[in-house]
Amino acid sequence: MAAVTQVRVENVTPARLVDLVLSGRVRLPSFQRDYRWRPGDVESLFDSVLRRYPIGNLLLWERPAPADRITIGPLVLDVPESPRALWVVDGQQRITSLVGALAAPEGVSDPRFNVFVHLSSLTFRAASKAPDGPWLPLRVAGANQLVIRWQREHVELLGEREYAAADEVASALREYAIPIYVVEADDERELRVVFDRMNNYGRALRKEDVFNALHGVQGAASPGDLGAIGDAVAAAGFGRVHEREVLRSLLALRGPDVFRDIHDEFTDDDDRMQAFLLTERVLLDVVAILRDDLDIPHVRLLPYPSVIPMLAALVHRFGRPTGRAVILLRRWLWRGAALGANPGGDVPTVRRLIREIARASGPSEAVLVLLAALPKAVGRWRPDLAQIQLSRALARVNLLGLADLGPQELVPATAELPVPNPALSPGELLDTVENPLVRVIPTHVDAPLASTLANRLLHPPIRGGAATALIGADRATRESHGVDDAAVELLAGRRWSEFLSHRAELLARVIADVVDQHAEWGARDSFSAADLLRSGRLGA
């Protein structure tokens, strides 16, 4: 390992930090995490600066940097080449917050970078727009001329105390000293080790973040890290697979224990890049299987994303499954979803199942092992319509039932459109809308089942309300949302409770039928005749 050649300790003020970023002297390496702070975190940070509380040290790596277009918070900057750039190893969230708020362009709507200080109470607020009252924007607080201009424009809000408070805030931003450690190292790996050690002494860090820090390839052709692999998979139209599942999939392709230590995973850079490329190719096959063979249109409707590493291990071992293996795989995924059996919920079980996949002689044998690990169904399965939060597996099963109806957009019929109500794409909807469910009956109505799926449509927000749109829609469009003629009559008569009860019965049958068709509860799980012939089990 290359030795650290020099470490020096300096201080930097928030105002000076802004100058360093704007000039391109401070850079963010590719292995850094996404910006994850919330508005309250930013408010606390500036409150600490004003009160002269410590906010921790920054660790920077001094090395050359090319001319580049960089993004830090709300800032997109074209910066020149620098022979002595300062690359952020630890402190990205604090630097992004400080610089993003102090140098934010006017009109920025992200509240994390639109921060105000109340000049009477000296409290901070992160907000999408300026609140009423003597709230000084921090984007002007770092420069005297900007503060003076703001004071002239808001003189009616200010008294002697507010003028003094503005001076106090400006002084803190000019004078507050942030300790920084600047490291000169011969090798990037040295900094990765430092990063890893700093983030494992009493502070929680996701394993995938540590992996990117240790093994991300800065400036390399894609894929250079887990995020780049996720980008490639998202481009396939299935949505973004979480980096946790990307990492576990990568590990599953290289060994059965997806929870193993990652620090010495690769022998060299070529081994690392080959692993990234292989993981990308396999995951593209996995999402194609989920969408085309297992009828999961989007990752947000996949009841348990933890199945992805197991599917990756299966595809890597046997290629894309066909025939009987697909039928068995469909049963496994849908039965597990309906029974609430999370394949990734138990570490020893995951290790065992991926090991069994590696040992199997064929894909059907591997999937039969997965099926055998599921709990047995007891009685006829029925959906729980109270489950409507997409973070829950059973809610995703419910939405899969709604998606199977082929919902059409609720728009007025026109002469120009031969098909007045176009089909909705669940995938596109889930890519663009955080909550894909809209309420049917008015929000002020407190009726039984109002908080269940009986009162929800899989649809973008509807101007004028879903109830009105349903009443005015044609029969085919209504039925694509699980609303029959009887339900429309109840809805038009504002018989809310009866409507919800009736639609609950309709949806329960629809969802149960969809699950039954895929899970095939009573079917015999076994090899096909062709599998038996290939394995020598038939006729032996």
Among positive and negative, which fits the CA dihedral 465, 471, 475, 480?
positive
3-state secondary structure 422-471: CECCHHHHHHHCCCCEEECCCCCCCCCCCCCHHHEEECCCCCCCHHHHHH
Which pLDDT tens digit goes with each residue over 161-212?
999 999 999 999 999 999 998 887 666 666 666 666 665 554 455 677 667 7
Among 157, 185, 213, give the residue marking a domain's end.
185
Which pLDDT tens digit goes with each residue over 368-425?
999 999 988 777 899 999 999 999 999 999 999 999 999 999 975 444 444 556 888 8
Among 148, 168, 185, give the residue marking a domain's end.
185
Least confident among 159-173, 294-308, 414-428, 452-466: 414-428
Question: Do 357 and 404 fall into the same domain?
Answer: no
Question: Do 157 and 80 fall into the same domain?
Answer: yes
Residue 540: inside a domain: no
pTM: 0.67
pLDDT band at 538 (very low <50, low <70, confident <90, very high): very low
CA distance 243 to 254: 17
The whole-number pLDDT of residue 108 equals 87
Residue given tokens 């003076």 in the structure block? 148
* Among 191, 226, 192, 221, residue whose Cα is nearest residue 208: 226
Among positive and negative, which fits the CA dihedral 536, 354, 371, 507?
negative
Question: Do 133 and 170 fall into the same domain?
Answer: yes
The whole-number pLDDT of residue 214 equals 64
Residue 527: inside a domain: no
The whole-number pLDDT of residue 534 equals 57
Pair type for strands 82-90 and 26-27:
parallel
CA distance 305 to 417: 39
Average pLDDT, the chain: 87
3-state secondary structure 203-244: CCCCHHHHHHHHHCCCCCCCCCCHHHHHHHHHHHHHCCCCHH
Least confident among 201-205, 265-269, 292-296: 201-205
Residue 305: inside a domain: yes
The whole-number pLDDT of residue 12 equals 92
The whole-number pLDDT of residue 201 equals 53
Q: What is residue 408's DSSP assignment?
A: B
Among 153, 185, 217, give the residue marking a domain's end.
185
Which pLDDT tens digit goes with each residue over 304-334?
999 999 999 999 999 999 999 999 999 999 9
- 43-47 contacts, C-beta under 8 A, 24 or more apart: 43/115, 43/124, 43/125, 43/126, 45/94, 45/97, 45/98, 46/98, 46/101, 46/115, 46/117, 46/124, 46/138, 47/123, 47/124
Question: Do 317 and 398 fall into the same domain?
Answer: no
Question: Do 402 and 358 fall into the same domain?
Answer: no
Residue 28, pLDDT above cutoff 90: no
CA distance 284 to 427: 16
The whole-number pLDDT of residue 248 equals 94
Residue 58: inside a domain: yes
Which pLDDT tens digit goes with each residue over 484-519?
999 999 999 999 999 999 999 999 999 999 999 999
CA distance 467 to 470: 5
Express as a percent the part of the chain with pLDDT over 70.
88
Pair type for strands 124-126 and 26-27:
unpaired
Question: Do 41 and 79 fall into the same domain?
Answer: yes
Residue 90: inside a domain: yes
Cis omega (within 30 of 0) on the bond before 223?
yes
Residue 69: inside a domain: yes
Residue 277: inside a domain: yes
Question: Do 295 and 429 fall into the same domain?
Answer: no
Question: Do 157 and 103 fall into the same domain?
Answer: yes
- Structural domain harbouring 346: 238-372
Question: Do 169 and 43 fall into the same domain?
Answer: yes
Question: Do 311 and 341 fall into the same domain?
Answer: yes
Residue given tokens 């209504």 in the structure block? 478
The whole-number pLDDT of residue 202 equals 45
CA distance 116 to 347: 46
Cβ pair 491, 471 in contact under 8 A: yes
Question: Do 398 and 367 fall into the same domain?
Answer: no
* Among 302, 290, 311, residue whose Cα is nearest residue 248: 311
- Measured between its terminal Cα atoms, the distance across the chain in Å is 58
Tokens linked to 236: 């396939």
The whole-number pLDDT of residue 4 equals 47
Which pLDDT tens digit goes with each residue over 49-89?
999 999 988 888 888 889 998 888 899 999 999 998 998 88
3-state secondary structure 166-183: HHHHHHHHHHCCEEEEEE
The whole-number pLDDT of residue 1 equals 43
The number of distinct structural domains making up the chain is: 3
Question: Do 285 and 330 fall into the same domain?
Answer: yes
Cβ pair 235, 284 in contact under 8 A: no
pLDDT band at 30 (very low <50, low <70, confident <90, very high): low
Residue 295: inside a domain: yes
Q: What integer is the mean pLDDT of 240-245? A: 92
